[in-house]
Chain A
């Protein structure tokens, strides 16, 4: 199968250009099961660059530690690689919000019946492959409220409040490697959030970029001066 054409997705931090690509099918054996794989074959396309800015020396981040989430995050990344790179003839795949959150959530939460029931109320995120390293992501939130305020979320017993501003469609592009997934959200298609802890904002802004690796999850906001949030998974003590 061959597909030809040019696909462009552009935002300040990302320009995706896929001039021409060819896809060829190969068969590989993975985990003792024969799986038909699709490998993006060599062509004139160049591998794309990361889309999230790496932390700068001395940059201040809002940091917390979830060292116990390491295995689940690695599994999330591995599954993403398999779906993006290895699944045959399927240019797109989905992740539900609980699947994404579960990597960081406690077992008690993941196994909570109420949580699992609630999870069905949000549309899943759809990831569509552009080439070996990039794709687009979208989530239809039109049926969800535009503004959400929740009181008493609670962090370690300290009262907290959460404000969310939802776009009608959450949309952006992603860049990936075997060990990392980075998502940049388009302007006007970003999730806005503000977390107040004991009356003080500890995280706020429009989520501009997410970078997930075995080291942790880095959340960058669109507004300059809003400190990014970094949930450490490796090299930290909870």
Chain B
């Protein structure tokens, strides 16, 4: 009985913490995150966003988040490449800030005011289509996997 009471109290705490100190309010989505298949050894560090996907990342609030699991420290920039039908449309030499753990993160936006991927790294066009093949080149870094996620704001 005591164990059941403890369980109930714990679940009450879990429920409260899940929903936060403030009640969740209904809100139409403004910005959305799109996760895609991550890049690792089994897919040659390449992933594909289907060509029929018309989604874009748009200025000013959109961004591309990059996460890389690698043995620290990184010895230099990692290259992220987007190609469409074999034609390279974007290339970024990204240098994520030092991480305390194995995962290194940075965001590619439309300005360089938040240079989390390194100075000068930004999305080249004001409305950037995300379809195509994405790949990473480790450039000597010991990368285990990498991912890109796209943040689109309406």
Give me the interface of A with B, judged by CB distance under 8 Å: 28-31, 39-43, 45-50, 54-66, 74-75, 77-79, 81-82, 85-86, 97, 101, 104-106, 109, 115, 117-119, 121-122, 131-133, 143-145, 148, 150, 153-156, 158, 160, 162, 164, 177-180, 182, 193, 195, 197, 202-203, 211, 213-215, 217, 219, 227, 229-231, 235, 238
Contact = CB atoms under 8 A, between A and B. Distances in A.
Given A122-B7, A177-B35, A61 B26 contact: yes
Q: Considering residues A41, A77, A118, A213, which has the most beta carbons from chain B within 10 angstroms of its beta carbon? A: A118
Contacts of A193: 15
B37 interface: yes
B10 A121 contact: yes
A66 B142 contact: no
A63 B25 contact: yes
Interface string B1-21: 001101111111111111111
Nearest to B145: A178
By secondary structure, the B interface counts as: mixed
A144 to B, nearest CB: 5
Interface of B: 3-4, 6-29, 31-44, 47, 65, 67-69, 71-72, 100-103, 105, 142, 144-147, 149, 151, 154
Given A40-B41, A50-B36, A214-B105, A227 B6 contact: no
A155 B23 contact: yes
By secondary structure, the A interface counts as: mixed
